[in-house]
Amino acid sequence: MAAPAEVVVPVERIAVNRKAVGTVAVVGNPNAGKSSVFNRLTGLRQHTANYPGVTVERRVGRGIFGKVPLDLVDLPGTYSLSPTSADERIAVDVLFGRVAGTPRPDAILAVIDSTRLYQGLYLLQQLTELGRPMIVALTMIDAAEREGIKFDLAALEDALGGVPVLPIVATSGRGFAALNEALAKILSLAPPRATAHWPELERAADALVERWRGGGAELHRVEAERLLIDGSEHSLVPQAAADAAVVRPELFGAEPPLAAEARRRYAWVRGVLAQVETPGSGVMSQTARLVDWINRPWPATGLLLALMFLVFQAVFAWATPLVDLIDAAVAGFGAVVAGVLPDGMLESLIVDGAIAGVGSVIVFLPQIVILFLFIILMEDTGYLARAAFLVDRAMRGVGLSGQSVIPLLSSFACAVPSIMATRVIPNRRDRIATILAAPFMTCSARLPVYALLIGAFVPAQAVGVFNLQGLVLFGLYGIGIVGGVGTALLLRSSVLRGQNPTFILALPEFRMPSFRNVATKLLDRARVFLRRAGTVIFMVAVVVWVLTYFPRSPDVDAARAVAETQATATLTGAALEERLADIGNQAGAAHLEQSWLGRAGHAVEPLFRPLGWDWKVSAAVIASFPAREVVVAVLGTIYAVGDEADEATLAGQLTTAQHPDGSPVFTLPMVFGLLLFYAWCLQCAATLAVIRRETNSWRWPVFAWSYMTALGYGGAFLIYQLGSA
Amino acid sequence: MVLGLVEGAELTFLRRSLGGDPLEIRIYGAAISLRDEQARRFRVVPDGRAG
């Protein structure tokens, strides 16, 4: 399939779409309402995938304008053609037709926020130079009107070299009739006239294009200009970087090329702005004054705390009935299936493996969907940037950036959506540090483990106005935060050292999110969760089942049969029921002991003995590496109280558990060590899968797992050894 | 720079964030956030107008 390197095949030849007559790139600044426009133009005729090799989402949709079917590609938001992040690089690469599988766009639909025309014009001027037919959709025109801003659209069209400009409101659909009409004719539009004048750069770029044509590379003048200014590596032209480096000093002198470009373009932008825009009176409306007040540091802090409280309330309280409902439904369904199927391996595989596996995935959905909903709402209202602005100073103090705050807070519910939410962090080092700090936060899957151990071993006595059990739980949250912050600090001062030279954050105005947009994004992310995390969690559930089920010993079943016959002969009624259940649980424990998991527990026991663990705890911990909450069920089986046992019964068993020499297993130092182990270990296959996906390499998940396991082991070791000494 | 903090641009200082950093400034109607250390690299001349 792959063409030899020296043959340049135009991408549009390979990937042309037979049905659509052309491809239109939807380009714009971040937060300009691009996705709302895209969604409204394509409706549900769209699909999402990833660009090859990166975690940037590729959204393509079909729109029919008049009778003209067009493919629309929703590009990641960018402020310029000089990419500063993976997202922006994709946007630029698609525009130049450098992305395999995505044809070079035939035309451009630029989506520009009318209240931020200053930055919009900069991108617009660069886009006009691409030599493609173009239309500008000027969004949020209602917000501009409220501020009293007026536009001379004819003058703007003229300044952009004859590009049609259409004022719209993406949330209400205002102006879309005209936009649809314009899009129907977009392919026959003439490319924009030249608007910039930089003869030295143009000459240098033309000379480079001429030279490289000899080598077989067909480049646009604009591409050569980008090479001169951005110095981006371009695989089509091997000597490009060297050639550009020769020309650059005489072209720009000592001034950084990007600064020279920005200085020139923004001079043009200011000129155009003065011509086409009449600013508002500056008199603030009631709403504007309220927004201004809420943006002040202290009210904003109050708002952030209130919002976070609301999120946690929703994730933990509102989701609980749904979670319980799903739990009960899964258990009920399992019981029905178990009743229908004959006892044996198939029944166990389907009920304990498959159904329980699927159940353990969908039981997370309510919390995850609620969490995603809040994150998306914060993104779409523009609040995310505000929160980042507010806490940037504090977060930088711990080696992160303001944009880390929402992902990190989300990971108190679940690290998976939180790690997916780190995409808003443009700086790679900040993003990786945030991803590695997130799994330390006390997620909801840790709570059953904490509840069991604290309930069993920490006395419920009062300490002042507090309860000791509550204090220990609070301390565990604190230990998680300490672990995460310490990790971020450590990373930022070692492998992820370095400052972000240009951290400048656009602060969008608050706005109403569009329902359609929020719903589309929510469905999208829930699907990604089910596909990525769900398949992993399910497979893990089946693997754990295999490890606990095989090999099967006939001796255990024979002993069980004997005991049952004996019981039936001597007991009746409730006493018999109880005895039979007990025998069943004993048999379950015996099966587990000689299963692969039980053997593994015995095998690794020496490794965990310095932590005070016996083979049972070791086996349960091993089983919980793919999903930490599994430990409660495994302990239930191992201690022969059944995997559905209530906490009190299991807790009672734990307090009396003994080492072979008769000493208690669950001493206080051992319990605190175990708690610390669960606080710091990365026992979650779904999180690992998501880290793999988001960092696009195995390096970080492997590092995170090894590092956190070592940390958990070390901590548990120290506590046990010091506490028992 | 691509956000328009260039020679000749007019800006309005709005506020400082919690702890005095970063700054929020408005540049031709668009609010942006700028960390203190970066703000120091710019030379800003007051234009005398209140606001």
Q: What is the pLDDT of residue A234?
A: 57
Distance of residue A117 Cα from the nearest chain B Cα, in angstroms: 8
Give the Cα separation of A220 and A79 in Å (integer).
Answer: 21
Residue of A nearest to B25 (CA): A507
Write out chain B residues lying below 8 Å of A267, CB-based: 6, 8
pLDDT at A587: 79
Question: Which residue in B18, B24, B27 has the most chain A C-beta atoms within 10 A of its own C-beta, making it the best mutation to test that interface?
Answer: B18
Chain A residues near residue B20 by CB distance under 8 angstroms: 393
3-state secondary structure of A199: helix
Report pLDDT digits (tens) over A289-340.
Answer: 888 888 888 898 999 989 888 887 887 778 888 888 988 898 889 889 888 8
Of the listed ranges A114-123, A163-172, A260-269, A623-632, the least confidently predicted one is A623-632
Q: CB under 8 Å, gap of 24 or more: what pairs does A630-638 form? A: A630/A360, A630/A544, A631/A449, A631/A678, A632/A448, A632/A449, A632/A452, A634/A548, A634/A592, A634/A597, A635/A452, A637/A548, A637/A588, A637/A589, A637/A592, A638/A589, A638/A592, A638/A593, A638/A598
Judged against a pLDDT cut of 90, whether residue A384 lies above it is answered with: no
Instruction: Give one DSSP letter per residue of A327-369, joined into a string.
Output: HHHHHHHHHHHHHHSPSSHHHHIIIIIIIHHHHHHHTTHHHHH
A316–chain B nearest CA distance, Å? 29
Strands, sheet with A57-65, edge to edge from the N-terminal-most edge strand: A46-50, A57-65, A68-74, A22-28, A107-113, A134-139, A165-167
By residue count, chain B amounts to 51
Probe site for chain B from A390, A393, A509, A510 (most B CB atoms < 10 A): A393
Q: Which residue of B8, B28, B38 is in closest CB contact with A504?
A: B38
- Cβ atoms A690, A419 nearer than 8 A: yes
A164: Cβ–Cβ under 8 A, 6 or more apart, which residues?
A135, A136, A157, A182, A189
Would the pLDDT of A126 be above 80? Answer: yes
The pLDDT confidence band at residue A236, using thresholds 50, 70 and 90, is low
Is residue A88 less than 8 Å (CB to CB) from chain B? no
A330, A355 Cβ separation under 8 angstroms: yes
Work out the average pLDDT over A20-42: 90
A/B interface, count of CB pairs below 8 Å: 104
In the predicted model, what is the mean pLDDT of residues A148-160?
A: 94
Interval A526-565: pLDDT, tens: 887 787 777 777 787 788 888 888 887 777 778 877 887 8
> Can you tell me which residue has the tokens 């933990």?
A316
Whether residue A79 lies within 8 A of chain B, CB to CB, comes out as: yes
Instruction: Identify the three-state secondary structure at position A113.
Output: strand
Please report the pLDDT score of residue A320 as a whole number: 81
The pTM score is 0.81
Contacts of A296 in chain B (CB under 8 A): 15
CA closest to A263 among chain B residues: B6
Share of chain A above pLDDT 70, in %: 94
The answer, for A118 touching chain B at a CB cutoff of 8 Å, is: yes
Does A281 touch chain B if contact means CB atoms closer than 8 Å?
no
Residues in chain B within 8 Å Cβ distance of A505: 22, 32-33
Q: Which domains does chain A have, with CATH numbers?
A: 11-188 (3.40.50.300), 203-235 (no CATH), 551-724 (no CATH)
- B16 in contact with chain A, both atoms CB, cutoff 8 A: yes
Contact call for residues A344 and A300 (beta carbons, < 8 A): no
- Of A136-140, A281-285, B38-42, which range is least confident? A281-285
DSSP A513: P
Instruction: Name, in order, each residue with C-beta under 8 angstroms of A406's C-beta and a sequence gap of 6 or more.
Output: A375, A378, A384, A387, A388, A421, A424
Minimal Cβ distance to A503: which of B7, B30, B38: B38
Determine the 3-state secondary structure of A232 from DSSP. Answer: coil
| B positions 17-46 inside 8 Å of A (CB) | 17-22, 24, 27-35, 38
Residue B8 to chain A, least CA–CA distance (Å): 8
